[in-house]
Amino acid sequence: MLRNTIIMTDSYKVGNYKHLPPGINKTYLYLEARVGGEYQDVMFFGLQSILKRYFVGRVATEKKVILARELFRRHFRSDKVFNYDGWMHIVRDHKGMLPLEIKAIPEGLVVPEGNVMMTVENTCPRCYWLPVYYETILDHVWYGSTVGTISREMKKIIKKALVRSGTDTPENLAYRLLDFGYRGVSSPESSAVGGAAHLVSFLGTDNIAAIEMLQECYDSYMPGFSIPGAAEHTSITSWGEENEELAYSNMLDQFPDGTLAVVSDAWNIRNAVTNIWGEKLRDRVINRNGVLVIRPDSGDPKEVLPDILEITGDKFGYRVNEKGYKVVNDKVRLLQGDGIKRSTLSGILDPIMDKGWSADCVSFGSGGGLLQDCNRDTQRVAMKCSYEEVNKIGRDVFKRPATDPSKNSKRGRLMLACDESLIRKYGSKYATLPEGTEGYKDALVPVFRNGRLLRDCNFDDVRVNAGSGDLISIQ
């Protein structure tokens, strides 16, 4: 699967070249997050990984064209649908490289919904059908952009809590939301793309697929970090309930230094914190060279976390910070890794602070809630045709559904104007205007043309574009 770019499209697009007007020689599509999504600002991310994996270089060969022709012959029960001559033209006259030009805004850039973020058009008149053909795979940029937007919004929630009750520094925020989503998504590729999008805003992850993708596609040396001493339930339950203390003690033996995270709800989290961590192993925790992170991952976190903080504060002590909130002994912290998503995060942090505890005491891990709890409609991402040329004469293309004006599409060739003067009229320094509008810089730049990647951004660039440049120096 996913080895033949020629078949990476929706079935109905295979015969699309037959649908278009006679004499057509160019089609031009744009991508936007239509107004009405969950968040008003969207972070653009993931295009470069799509281009490097599926578009760059010679992607069409005679063998692949023949294989595609046979697949579609069986699929449609007809040999008259697949554009064999069109693909063989690409193989012979374009050396198998896609005659397309793609422009896009810088990856990581955050722009208001309703603005153009990418355009694609054919560079060969005979390949007028190709931009529409590849709408399917290019539209997949919705996923990285949506997860990146969600992660950024969750970061805002945590930052707001730290401003209210704790230490509001980039260093303290960088590891507050960990990616536990490798197992919680539909495929390793989803894990890689979504996990990479999360790392635009944070440094903590257990998602190795994301690390590998960012190294391969974004020239990142090491974009995210984890800890060696992180117990899972099997680490504890394999000892048996009667040996729970020995299981915890073994973790202290195996990892005498550094951060140690131990899931402690296998049987009774309150007993584990009160009697085992808080009494029998207390001195070892206090005297250890590192922080113990206790994971109370069962029950309603709105109730369990404040309760466990009370017990932890009683057993290990606490101080009151300058904002008037209690902070548990610096040797102990909590990590909630169950039930965390954007819709629950504020509702978990608020009760903690309402009970007088600082958000400094708690970090979060999120799996499916971070990487899987979204779809293309979350931010209403869509690609539409807005311009074409017929017999080399240009004309605007648009849709205007009478039953849903929110799906009205843009017309003509477009630019994303960038200028402070736009704020007064549009409420943002970014606005979608007709291409070539004088007096404005266009944030859309060519990134791909005729099989070649024109801009190869690294992950540090992405973080800077997203306003997360401080993560570059935080390790």
Average pLDDT, the chain: 97
Cβ-contact 143, 194 below 8 angstroms: yes
Question: How would DSSP label each residue in 69-99?
Answer: HHHHHHHHT-SSSS-HHHHHHHHHHSTT---
5-139+376-467 matches 163-371 in fold:
no
- Mean pLDDT of the region 283-292: 97
The CATH architecture one would assign to domain 163-371 is Alpha-Beta Barrel (3.20)
pLDDT reading at 33 higher than 80: yes
Tokens 């009478």 found at: 402
- Mean pLDDT of the region 20-25: 96
The pLDDT assigned to 2 comes to 63
Cβ-contact 378, 147 below 8 angstroms: no
Q: What is the DSSP letter of 205?
A: B
C-beta neighbour count of 179 within 10 angstroms: 28
CA-derived radius of gyration, the chain: 26
pLDDT reading at 319 higher than 70: yes
Looking at the chain, the whole-number percentage of residues with pLDDT higher than 70 is: 100
- Mean pLDDT of the region 369-378: 97
Please state, in angstroms and rounded to a whole number, the distance separating the CA atoms of residues 413 and 218.
29
Angle at 56 (CA atoms; ends 125, 122), nearest 5 degrees: 15
Question: How would DSSP label each residue in 145-164?
Answer: HHHHHHHHHHHHHHHHHHHH
The torsion angle over the Cα atoms of residues 88, 89, 95 and 97, rounded to 10 degrees, is -90
Q: Residue ranges of the domains in the chain?
A: 5-139+376-467, 163-371
Write the pLDDT tens digit of every residue in 157-182.
999 999 999 999 999 999 999 999 99
- Mean pLDDT of the region 360-389: 97
- Mean pLDDT of the region 391-410: 96
pLDDT reading at 1 higher than 80: no
The torsion angle over the Cα atoms of residues 142, 143, 146 and 151, rounded to 10 degrees, is -160
| Helix ranges, 317-419 (H) | 345-354, 368-371
- Mean pLDDT of the region 432-460: 97
The pLDDT assigned to 3 comes to 81
Give the pLDDT band (50/70/90) at residue 254.
Answer: very high
449: left (phi over 0), alpha (psi -120 to 50) or beta: beta
Pairing, β 292-295 against β 332-336: parallel
The pLDDT assigned to 67 comes to 96
Give the pLDDT band (50/70/90) at residue 475.
Answer: confident
Give the global pTM: 0.96
Looking at the chain, the whole-number percentage of residues with pLDDT higher than 90 is: 99
- What's the CATH number of domain 5-139+376-467, 3.20.140.10, 3.60.150.10, 3.40.1280.10, 1.10.620.20? 3.20.140.10
The torsion angle over the Cα atoms of residues 307, 310, 313 and 318, rounded to 10 degrees, is 120
Q: Which amino acid is at 106?
A: P
SS (HEC) of 41-62: EEECCCHHHHHHHHHCCCCCCH
Write the pLDDT tens digit of every residue in 123-154.
999 999 999 999 999 999 999 999 999 999 99
Give the pLDDT band (50/70/90) at residue 303.
Answer: very high
Give the pLDDT band (50/70/90) at residue 249.
Answer: very high
- Mean pLDDT of the region 224-253: 96
